[in-house]
Amino acid sequence: MVFPDRGASAPYAQVKQHLKDQLSRGLWPPGTLMPSEAQLVAQFGVSRMTVNRGLRELQAEGLVDRVQGVGTFAAQPWRATSTLTIRDLHSEIVERGHRHNAKVYLAREEPAPATLAQRLGLAAGTAVFHTLIVHFENDVALQCEDRYVNPACAPGYLQVDFTQTTPTQYLLEVAPHWEAQYSIEASAATAREARLLAIERHEPCLVVVRRTVSRGVPITIARLVHPGSRYNLQGELRP
């Protein structure tokens, strides 16, 4: 039995992989002019659209720079940005085969302090929803989630049972597409957070602050505090 095409990937992928190999061998140091589309067409015996697709994907990956009217240049590889997956804690825990549960310490409506109101695009003093939830993996506290929600975006927020679903999951249903900005820093937990997470007062914590926007409207701001000894983020950079 013959397997047609087994092991042989699509032509555009071959062109792309060939250039990638040469780049990683240092054949074209950063900034060097690489072969033109026409040259690659001749070299590989494929159409220009095929070569173009390979080059376009290399450009999307940050491996080459292309300038109309000039040519294609090897890029500085470290400009490639790395991808970091910040996943829903619930799915992360479940995927490890562990048990996730949550304790809700607060779920109420409050007038928004000035700074917060501004970041949510609301007038100071406007009522916002505020929840404080601790998430456990196999009964070990992993995250303290202090969250404010724009009521206009999720009117039913306070009626949700957050021992059964997470705010993230619920908000995704209400406002399916979104953008987020986040910052990651190390700091000590507040006294209350330390108590809720059952850690010592000065244990270093990984703090992620995330602001979520959907179609220009701020939806929610969350401060996610993780004990440094129990949680880390992993990622990779792969040109």
- Taking CB under 8 A as the criterion, the residue among 17, 43, 179, 198 binding a second copy is 179
Question: How many C-beta atoms lie closer than 10 Å to residue 50's C-beta?
Answer: 21
- Smallest separation (angstroms) from DNA to the CB of 67: 6
> C-beta of 109: minimal distance to a second copy in Å?
25
Judged on CB neighbours under 10 Å (0-12, 13-18, 19+), 223 is middle
Smallest separation (angstroms) from a second copy to the CB of 210: 9
Q: How many CB atoms lie within 10 A of CB 130?
A: 18
Least distance to a second copy from the beta carbon of 123, Å? 26
User: Which option in a second copy, DNA, none does residue 234 bind, with CB closer than 5 to 8 A by kind?
Assistant: a second copy
Task: Choose the one of DNA, a second copy, none that binds residue 46, judging by a C-beta under 5 to 8 angstroms depending on kind.
Answer: DNA
**Angle formed by the axes of helices 11-24 and 48-60, to 10°?**
50
Report d(CA 35, CA 71) in Å as an integer.
8
Which residues inside 52-111 make contact with a second copy, applying CB under 8 A? 60, 76-78, 81-86, 88
The CA distance from 87 to 59, in Å, is 27
Consecutive H or E run containing 58 = helix 48-60
Nearest-10 crossing angle of helices 37-44, 48-60: 120
Residue 212, burial from CB neighbour count under 10 angstroms (0-12, 13-18, 19+): buried
Q: How far is the CB of 124 from a second copy (least distance, A)?
A: 25
| Binding of residue 47 to a second copy (CB under 8 A) | no
Closer CB to DNA, 7 or 69, in the complex: 69
Distance of CA 186 to the CA centre of its chain: 18
Contacting residue, 68, 115, 159, 183, with a second copy by CB under 8 A: 183
Q: What are the residues binding DNA (CB under 7 A)?
A: 4, 10-13, 34, 36-39, 45-50, 52-53, 55-56, 59, 66-72
By CB under 8 A, name the binding residues for a second copy. Answer: 23-26, 29-30, 49, 60, 76-78, 81-86, 88, 168, 172, 176-188, 202, 204-207, 214-215, 226, 228-229, 231-239
